């Protein structure tokens, strides 16, 4: 029987249990909590403690390159959960097919814009992606979802928020105008981890070295992702929380080389 960790206290919970026997917390169902493990990469998207639905989304693809996308639906728009899910899946498919970040963002933006007819506030979301090969990391973003590099000697935020305060200045959606992703290429000199996340995590834990310290105490990327989500929920969980951890160099390219 495959168990899962309680979203509150981390105790093992049987698949059919709706409540944790240890702390009594009702366990998320459906898209309230999504856990992905692809090779040695891991990601979790969690509803948090206050939102009535999860409006974040994530996608991970492994092959010759390790690819991940995180999107955060804009809560003031209509159907933000659909916008985020569609954008993440569309962009991940383009990237895994060899497309560029610009291609991926363009396809995702068109897909989200196509949801607009019949809505009052056009569906919208943020975007951040990472593409890892054996020798480099390519980051692209629109909005305030973030990417971090977490190495032993260097830890830093890789993205710069497209926002003034918490007001977005760039997003994907029919009312976004022409979308031009910002991009960054990193050639790490040491092994490390790329972390992608929505503001549901970085609002509580945004310092790169503190994020790395959380990774050090976890036995695996999946456990580290669960621990980071648990930390954000323990601090209040006022927003949806999504975190993806990607090891560099990825296992697929390590074995190939």
Residue 93 pLDDT > 60: yes
Tell me the two tokens of residue 247.
């090891």
Rounded-to-integer distance, Cα 28 and Cα 148, Å: 27
Residue ranges per structural domain of the chain: 4-256
pLDDT band at 257 (very low <50, low <70, confident <90, very high): very low
Residue percentage of the chain with pLDDT more than 70 = 88
In the block, tokens 């939102």 appear at 51
Mean pLDDT of the chain: 91
Kindly report, residue by residue over 8-62, the tens digit of the pLDDT: 566 776 655 555 677 665 555 568 999 999 988 999 999 999 898 999 999 999 9
Residue 220 pLDDT > 60: yes
Output the pLDDT for position 11: 73
Residue percentage of the chain with pLDDT more than 90 = 81
Tell me the two tokens of residue 256.
């190939």
Just give the CATH number of 4-256: 3.60.40.10
Residue 254 pLDDT > 60: no
**CA quadruple 179, 197, 220, 139: dihedral positive or negative?**
positive
């Amino acid at each position: 029987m495959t168990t899962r960790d309680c979203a509150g206290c981390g105790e093992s919970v049987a698949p059919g249990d709706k409540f944790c026997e240890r702390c009594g917390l009702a366990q998320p169902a459906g898209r309230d909590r999504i856990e992905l493990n692809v090779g040695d990469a891991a990601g979790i998207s969690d509803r948090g403690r206050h939102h009535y639905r999860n409006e974040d989304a994530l996608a991970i693809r492994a092959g010759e390159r390790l690819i991940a996308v995180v999107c955060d639906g804009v809560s003031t728009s209509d159907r933000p959960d659909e916008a985020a899910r569609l954008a993440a899946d569309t962009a991940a498919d383009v990237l895994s097919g060899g497309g560029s970040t610009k291609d991926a963002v363009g396809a995702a933006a068109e897909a989200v814009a196509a949801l607009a007819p019949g809505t009052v506030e056009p569906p919208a979301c943020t975007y951040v992606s990472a593409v890892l090969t054996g020798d480099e990391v390519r980051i692209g973003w629109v909005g305030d979802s973030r990417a971090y590099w977490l190495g032993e000697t260097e830890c830093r935020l890789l993205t710069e928020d497209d926002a003034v305060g918490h007001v977005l200045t760039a997003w994907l959606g029919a009312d976004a105008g022409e979308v031009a992703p910002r991009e960054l290429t990193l050639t790490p000199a040491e092994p490390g981890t790329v972390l992608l996340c929505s503001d549901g995590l970085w609002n509580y834990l945004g310092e790169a070295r503190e994020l790395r310290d959380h990774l050090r105490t976890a036995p695996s990327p999946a456990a580290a992702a669960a621990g980071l989500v648990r930390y954000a929920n323990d601090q209040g969980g006022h927003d949806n929380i999504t975190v993806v951890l990607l090891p560099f160099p990825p296992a697929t390219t390590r074995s190939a080389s």
